[in-house]
Amino acid sequence: MLPKNIKATKEELRIHYRSGLSQKKIAEMYGVSQGYIWMTFKRLGLRSHPKGRTPRPWQQRFWNYVDKNGANGCWVWTASRHRFGYGLLVKEQSTTKKRGRHRTAHRLSWELHNGAIPKGLSVLHHCDNPPCVNPAHLFLGTQADNNRDMFAKGRNKIGRRKGNNCTIQIEAA
């Protein structure tokens, strides 16, 4: 059932929408707010993408953001990144929210090439390059494995300022 403010049939709204008119233009045509049109479309079951297009699966979108020409054989993620340098991609696009949930690109690369990641395991890098998504550079491990790897490669913060604490490495005489 259409709201009383809109003097149009369900089919007329579908025709306008499928012809490529934006929700803003349709709202102007009927003298209502864009939010009102959005809610009407939601009630009618119309998709939020123009001309009935559906979003592409993450497996297809993933490859748009990978540069396979990185140093040391790394496949560098070229799209948005986390503040620590890990690539980000929206895996599931939500139909109820404006944005879906972001996932790290190296975990998605593992899932794409090797299947699901078992619960409790992390995807770690042999190359220590956060934007790398090359499956040959990735391996599964626990958080303890990740910490051991960090200490073995000297990536820990011993002897430097870390938060409010300052730790100093003392050498034996």
In a domain, 172, yes or no: no
Q: Are residues 104 and 155 in the same domain?
A: yes
In a domain, 108, yes or no: yes
Q: Are residues 24 and 93 in the same domain?
A: no
Cβ atoms of 55 and 48 within 8 Å: the answer is: no
Q: Are residues 69 and 136 in the same domain?
A: yes
Mean pLDDT of the chain: 79
The string of pLDDT tens digits covering residues 90-112 is: 876 655 555 667 889 999 999 99
What sign has the CA pseudo-torsion 47, 51, 55, 56? positive
Q: What is the pTM of this model?
A: 0.60
Q: Are residues 64 and 43 in the same domain?
A: no
In a domain, 2, yes or no: no
Q: Are residues 88 and 129 in the same domain?
A: yes
In a domain, 20, yes or no: yes
The string of pLDDT tens digits covering residues 33-62 is: 878 877 877 777 766 555 445 567 788 888
| Helix%, strand%, coil% for the chain, nearest 5 | 40, 15, 50
Q: Are residues 150 and 75 in the same domain?
A: yes
